[in-house]
Each structure stands twice: as structure tokens, then as C-alpha cells.
Amino acid sequence: MDKVRIGVIGVCGRGTIANEWKESSRAEVVAGADVKEKNLADFKERFGESTFTTLDYRELVERKDIDAVLVASPDFMHEEHAIAALQAGKHVYLEKPMSITIENCDNIMRAEKESGKKLMVGFNMRCMNIYRTMKEIVDSGAIGQIKAAWVRHFVWSGSHWYFHDWHATKKNCTSLLLQKGSHDIDIVHWICGSYTKRVTAFGNMDFFGGNKPNDLNCRECDEAKTCLAETPHFEHLIQCAKREEVDIEDNNFMLMQLESGVKAAYLECHFTPDDERNYVFIGTEGSIESSERKNKVWMKTRRTNDFRELSNRTYKIKKSEGTHAGADPIITDAFLDYIIDGKQPIASPLDGRMSVAAGCCAAQSMRNGGIPVDVPPVDLG
């Protein structure tokens, strides 16, 4: 196969990553499915009026002129859409998180195995220069063997992204430890080279949610100018963040025991005044720490009885062109490498499943007084 013909389910939002294939000589976006006519109109504007569009994704996956499907629909639809595409004989690029339950993920993995097609999970943070730099440092042995990891994720005024739309309910995404945290959990797994086997977690609704009507629109609310949840920046994020149906925790903390013995901690807060994500990995011979805001990584050394102990280092991360700090062009190209050339995927279905599993088990622990929960093994029936 020299050129992959791609259909997109969920054409706006994260589905716009398909734009990366517009200029590719190895891919052609030929179809799109969405539940909104205006999204399909935007899709046609981007890919041409002759591009096939439909309000029923089943019409898309049944087409013979499609080799692969990008699933970028809301998380709670991932299982249905990914399995339908695989069963129709299509390769699948599945946006993170893989799904919203462990069972859903196992179902998707089973469908992949039975279909014989290729499935890649869209963990684009693995393609960001800052985390590839950290991975290279760890793999080089510069800080010895990792024994501890810590992640702090502050989501400034998180209502802009997660509480003004469908993300704010458990039924739609289980937990933000899963939805938002799936990236961070995966990076911990990837850099440490080990999956989570046991978790404990604590969290609450400390800021968002309330007694406002579920159909209240921020643009029409009399309190919009004084609301502590703030008015969102984007036109599609307009639901009141203080509405009654909001039931998902906005302040979370989880501890992870990895299979390798590494202990990891993850803090996620959605009402901070600043936006920052930083990682710390502590090894037997040193540590590394990152800051996305400053685009830097710091390595500190301890006594090693060799030249490494003579200095600490600061890495100034180079910027790359493209969205998500240049990660999106890399990961979309990697999907083509996987299909056409058989190169190993950026993230495997198991990577996606284990990230979801850790988040789901953390949600279970958090809602049951912080009891430890063991991550169950994969069940492919």
C-alpha cells in the first residue's frame, strides 16, 4: 500500500488532527462522519466539497474506498466506533483515552486481534520534544535506575476545557484521572518502562458543580461576568460549569505502584490560576525534572564516583513546527509508517489499555475512601 485512504469519525475538535494528512503524499482523507451538520460543512471546507460526509458513521466504515479510520469522537463512543471500524476491515488511529472503562478497552483489543488490522492509540505526548528528551536521558542511564516519579498537572481555569461541556459527568468519561490523566499516566509508564499494578487515590468536587439548570448557556447567563467558573473562550464550550449534572471530581491525587517497583504520584487540579505540567523522575544516580511552560528539563546528579557527579545540566528544548508542540505531525506520520511499512506504533493498544486501567482503578479507589485497588489483567476472552 503506497497511499492510505482515511475516513474520520468526529471531524472537529481533536478530529482536526486529520489536517496533518492534507499535504501528505502517503495519505488522503476521503470521508468524514459527525453528528453535526455544521461540523461536516467545516470538514468539507478543509478537504474539498467532493469529500464524502455523513451523519451516520456506519455509512463511513462500510465504504470500500477507505483503508483506515481516525476515531476522534467523544470518549464514551470510542469503543463502538473503533470496533465497528476494525470489524469492517479498517486500520484504526484511536484518540486517547482508548475508552472509558477497562472492559471497553479489552473489547477493542479483542476486536483488533480478530480483525488482523492495525490499531494505534493517539498518545501524542510521546512525540513532544520535551518528553522524548526525558526518555533519552533515562534510557542513557544518566540518572541510574528510576525508583520514584511525580507528576503535577495544574489545569488553569479548567472550566475552559472540561467543565463547560460533556467531560463534566462520570457517565461520559468515568473520571478526569482517566480522561485528562491518561496522557500523564502513559508518560510515567513509558519513561519508567513499566505499567501500574496497584493504585490508591483521593479526590473531590471542590470547585465546580452546583444547582444551576443543566440547559443554562454561559452566553445568556446574567452572572457570566462575575462567575468564578469564568466564561469559556470557545464557542462550543458554553454549558454552565455550575450546573446540576456536574458530578466529576476537579481535584484529584493518585499513588501508583508500578510492576517494576517504582512508586509514582499524580496530582491533577482543575481550578488553578496557572497552567503547568511538570514531571520528576528520581533515579539511583540522579534526577530529572521538566517544565512545559519554560520548555526546559533539568538533570541533577548525586555521587556516582565518575565524571557524571561533577555537574548538573539544563536542557533547553528546541521548538518544533506544528500543533501540540510539534507532536501532531510526528504521530500522524507514524501512523502511516505503521500501516505502510510495519514500523512499531508510537503507542500500542496495551499501552492505551493500561493507562485507562490505572485511571479507572484510581477512580474506584477515590470513590471508596482511598482503598488500594489492583489493576486487573487483560481479558481477551
Question: What are the structural domains of the chain?
Answer: 4-123+328-347 (3.40.50.720), 126-322+354-374 (3.30.360.10)
Q: Is the pLDDT of residue 236 over 80?
A: no
Pairing of strands 263-272, 68-71: unpaired
Would you report the helix, strand and coil content of the chain in percent, each value rounded to 5?
35, 25, 40
The pLDDT value recorded for residue 159 is 65
Q: Range with the lowest mean pLDDT among 15-29, 156-170, 276-290, 360-374?
A: 156-170
- As a whole number, mean pLDDT of residues 235-239 equals 82
Residues, the chain: 381
The type of residue at 201 is: A
Bond from prior residue into 213 cis (ω within 30 degrees of 0): no
- As a whole number, mean pLDDT of residues 116-127 equals 97
Spatial distance between the Cα atoms of 128 and 194, rounded to a whole number of angstroms: 20
The alpha carbon of 365 is separated from its chain's Cα centroid by a whole number of angstroms, namely 21
Q: Is the pLDDT of residue 304 over 70?
A: yes
Instruction: From 152, 339, 342, select the one nearest 251 (Cα to Cα).
Output: 152
Confidence band for 256, pLDDT divided at 50, 70 and 90: very high
The type of residue at 120 is: M
- As a whole number, mean pLDDT of residues 213-220 equals 90
Confidence band for 215, pLDDT divided at 50, 70 and 90: very high
- As a whole number, mean pLDDT of residues 86-90 equals 98
pTM beyond 0.85 = yes
Cell readout for 371 is 482503598
The pLDDT value recorded for residue 70 is 98
The pLDDT value recorded for residue 153 is 94
Q: What is the DSSP letter of 309?
A: G
Q: Is the pLDDT of residue 137 over 70?
A: yes
Spatial distance between the Cα atoms of 153 and 328, rounded to a whole number of angstroms: 21
Task: Give me the sign of the Cα torsion angle 15, 122, 155, 312.
Answer: negative
The alpha carbon of 132 is separated from its chain's Cα centroid by a whole number of angstroms, namely 16
